[in-house]
Amino acid sequence: MSTQPHDDNTPPEPSGSADAVDKASEDKDSVDKVPTDTAPEGKTPKERQPITTNRIVLWVIVAAIGLYFVVSGVYGILVK
């Protein structure tokens, strides 16, 4: 509730339930605006970015760690 005087030109403050309804309707509208892979008619699709060197290095490191875990696990099973 507002502590300021209410003029005829000032709209009343919405209640908490009205805010929830407005928020729900905004969420519903945002679902309709989900981008798709296909471009609208008359527009060309956005080109994909090239794969960067940093991403390749990261995947090589992650693959090496994963390979280490698999090989050490198999070795541990065979030795035991």
pLDDT tens readout for residues 58-74: 999 999 999 999 999 99
The pLDDT value given to residue 40: 60
3-state secondary structure of 70: helix
Structure tokens at 20: 């929830």
The pLDDT value given to residue 47: 86
* Torsion angle of the four alpha carbons 56, 61, 65, 68, in this order, in degrees rounded to the nearest 10: 90
Q: What is the pLDDT of residues 1-60, one digit of tens each?
A: 566 665 667 666 666 665 666 666 655 555 556 555 565 666 777 888 898 999 999 999
- CA 16, chain centre distance (Å): 28
Token pair 């519903």: residue: 28
- CA 43, chain centre distance (Å): 24
Q: Which of 72, 51, 73, 53 is nearest to 61 (CA)?
A: 53
For the whole model, what pTM was predicted? Answer: 0.41
